[in-house]
Amino acid sequence: MKCWVLVFVCCQFAVRAQFQFNFTDFIPVVADGQNLSKAWDGGLNTPQFSSLDYDYDGDDDLLVFDRGADQIRLYKHVTIGGVPTYQLDLRAHLFFPPQLNYRVTTYDYDNDGRKDLFCYAVGGIQAYRNIGSAATGLQWQAYSPYLVSNYAGPTLNLYISGADIPALVDVDVDGDMDILTYHISGEHLQYHQNQSQELYGHSDSLVFVLKNRCWGKYREDVTSNSLFLNDTSSYCTDGNVSNPELPTNDQLKAHAGSTVLALDLDQSGVLDLVLGDVAYGNLVRLMNGGTSPNTNSPMVSADYNFPSNTTPANVQIFPAAFCLDLDFDQKKDLVVAPNANNVSENENSVWYYKNLGSNQAPVFVYQDNDWLQGDMIDHGAGSVPLLYDVNADGLTDMLVANFYAYKPVLNKEARIAYYQNIGTPASPQLLLVDQDFLNLSSANQGLRLLPAMGDLNSDGKPELLLGKDNGQIAYFENTSTGTTPNFQLQTVALTDNNNVVIQVPLFSAPQLFDYDNDGLLDLMIGHKGGTIHYYRNTGSAVAPVFTLETTQLGGVSVQSNGPDGYAIAHFFKYQDTTYLMVGALDGRIHFYDSIASGTSTNFHERSPDFLGLSAQIGAYAAAAIANLDNDAHLELYVGQDLGGVFLLENEPGSDLSLEPFQVAPLQVYPNPNKGTLMVKGIQGLCSGALISLSGQVVLSFAQVQDQHQLDISSAAEGTYILRLSNGQSSLVIKQ
């Protein structure tokens, strides 16, 4: 068997170690009378669930892949106060192949006790063998670019639609992993039998043949959610494949999407099916009428509202079901989530069914529809945090805007959530007091309503600006006479000094900030095109007047792979120096430092991907700097595509006022390596260390400089982190 070794080069940390933020959850958040135990975990939209013991401690951890933003989340199985729970490990992306999309799951195909990784490949599926250990940490070996199957003659890519979730399961109970997936037309379920046992007598290979082209002997109606049992078409009359129809271009376009979960629900010894369809919100259970796993027995009954013994699963469109132990009782539960991005729920979308029976005869009973989600800040898709003292009580509050929340049927609405700080100046605590601030979802203002706040008339109370999807900005005056804000819409379209409507090229993202240091709040507007419009306040302290100075302030442009950037600008001051963070469509936060107030020079970009956060964010990054606990360390609040917020805190002893630091791309080669490692892109002279994934320093290096050779011949085979003292890092594989 030929193998390929996967080489990782992780996102480099593009700032000095002295300017660093760490993920934290120190600010408690309360909603509906409950402390959110996973408040700052970032939200979920279209998650897929599987198990993986990624730290090799004998306990299964939880692997979550959200196809909405192609994000990996790893939840470690931990015990806190004697109670088992899951705790998010945001380093997960470092230990997985890059550019995962559509689907990710695990299965121990070689029966070595370590679950392997299966993910999407163009038109099919790719496998990575788990070759890690407790000593070396999680690492993968690519099995092949994609899996193939023998179609009764030609050996072709084992076709699986990008929309589908197939069943990876031992159909014939011989110890190796088979695959059940829909035919390209979407009407029949195909059984690809693994030949590892048949050919080699063991289960460490992925060699498939199309065993049956109509497994279960049923046909799916292409125009409805109906299934025809005991189908008598030519596809289903013969249990074995003799001359299967090969894929055609027309068939490639016909199949829209299906999800398949295969498990024995009645102790019959053969697999039953739980199916989801791209056009419907219900799960369908098919019961297998056979008794032997080695025959193609027909499905004999269909339940179109599974699980019908309890509250049936009902997402808006395209449910996917997963079966794994979620509550640490050694019994596999059922979890259901939408598998369609942008057209189904993006909050309250994870249905959890506890298994009150056994693994042999499960009884799934509905518990809730926001499992994990309900413990997070999660407001649909595309969260944008704003930190401001909304009620003028001296404590910084938080608004979380979204691009949209899903609203049945096939509709969307924009909302802003209001979290009031009910803590103290030193111990903040956020309380969700309003899911729909100002009832904006019913105000006909459009989608993607992004707020900005500031005292524009010097009355001691903040006004509200609201960026809109049409590129305009609505203006709300705060007419409150107490601590409860009372925002009244004054104009749907803010105008400039010439009484012309202020409008940017779609999806305005405003910020009020005194850019020219004259004591008046100026208007900065990011937008879909990826630049920043700067309107200087040429009015007075009680009557602002906004005058356009430039449509590309500082030369900033965050477009990526096309005309769109969706720039969200956040200017802030620290120690009398102005800084800028710009969130972008591709999930990156661009960081600019030491900004002067003029319009003639380009800003110095200190990092095009601040802290390498794009790996966690996925898409639609939005950043805000604040200091809720009034200590010496700033907090970074990061919104992203999945509707939640990440919280990071500046490291003790860090200093934002460092000299500009220009980062060159870090190069580490050859990788994998057998002895001598070359490093390029180092700024100045620094020290370094080769660190195991368990955190042990294996080798230390002094006075490392650019184009330096490092001797790693004494290190054992494995995967290591090469860390340099300027904050740059890379993963290295030693063969």
Q: Mind listing the pLDDT tens digit for each residue in 371-391?
A: 999 999 999 999 999 999 999
Whether 688 shows a pLDDT value over 90: the answer reads no
**What pLDDT was estimated at residue 684?**
55
pLDDT for the residue 655? 52
**pLDDT for res 67:** 92
- Residue 10: pLDDT over 50: no
* Cβ neighbours around 91 below 10 Å, total: 13
Question: Residue 198 has what pLDDT?
Answer: 94
Distance in angstroms (rounded) separating the CA atoms of residues 685 and 696: 23
DSSP assignment letter at 555: G
How far, in Å, CA of 566 to CA of 622, rounded? 10
**Do the Cβ atoms of 381 and 397 come closer than 8 Å?**
no
pLDDT at 421 over 90: yes
pLDDT of residue 671 exceeding 80: no
Distances in whole angstroms, Cα of residue 88 to Cα of each of 31, 34, 515: 20, 19, 38
pLDDT above 70: residue 13: no
Query: Which positions ≥6 away from 711 have C-beta within 8 Å?
Result: 675, 676, 677
> Is the pLDDT reported for residue 130 higher than 70?
yes
Q: What is the pLDDT of residues 76-119, one digit of tens each?
A: 999 999 999 999 998 777 889 888 989 999 999 999 999 999 99
Pair 646, 637: CB distance under 8 Å: yes
pLDDT confidence of residue 1: 31
pLDDT above 60: residue 16: no
Instruction: Please say whether the dihedral angle defined by the alpha carbons of residues 600, 606, 608 and 614, taken in this order, is positive or negative.
Output: negative
Share of the chain above pLDDT 70, in %: 88
Q: What per-residue confidence (pLDDT) applies to 581?
A: 97
For residues 715 and 536, give the distance between their C-alpha atoms in angstroms, rounded to a whole number.
59
- CA 49, distance to chain mean position in Å, is 13
Q: Residue 681 has what pLDDT?
A: 65
Q: What single letter denotes the amino acid at residue 314?
A: N
Q: Which distant-in-sequence residues (6+ apart) come within 8 Å of 345 by Cβ?
A: 315, 316, 338, 406
Provide the 8-state DSSP code for 34. E
Instruction: Give the pLDDT confidence score for residue 616 in this predicted structure.
Output: 86
Mean pLDDT across the stretch 382-408?
A: 93
Q: Are 420 and 427 in contact (CB under 8 A)?
A: no
Residue 682: its pLDDT value, please? 64
Distance CA 349, CA 45 (A): 7
**What percent of the chain is helix, strand and coil (3-state, nearest 5)?**
5, 40, 55
Indicate the range of 357-361, 506-510, 594-598 predicted with least confidence.
594-598
Q: What is the pTM of this model?
A: 0.85
Q: What is the mean pLDDT of the chain?
A: 87
Q: What is the pLDDT of residue 657?
A: 34
Half-sphere CA count of 551, side-chain side, radius 13 A: 7
Residue 237: predicted pLDDT: 67
Closest to 157 measured CA to CA, from 247, 262, 245 = 247
Q: Which amino acid is at 47?
A: P
Q: Quote the DSSP letter at residue 314.
A: B
- How many other C-beta atoms lie within 10 A of the C-beta of residue 684? 10
How far is Cα 571 from Cα 714, in angstroms, rounded to an integer?
48
Q: Which among 564, 403, 385 has a CA at the least distance from the CA of 468?
A: 403
Please state the rounded mean pLDDT for residues 642-646. 95
For every residue of 450-468, DSSP letters joined together read EEEEE-SSSSSS-EEEEE-
The alpha carbon of 12 is separated from its chain's Cα centroid by a whole number of angstroms, namely 19
Question: What are the E-state strand segments in 351-494?
Answer: 351-355, 364-368, 384-388, 397-401, 405-407, 411-413, 416-421, 430-434, 450-454, 463-467, 473-478, 487-491
125 - beta bridge partners? 120
Question: Nearest-CA neighbor of 40 among 59, 27, 21?
Answer: 27
pLDDT at 733 over 60: no
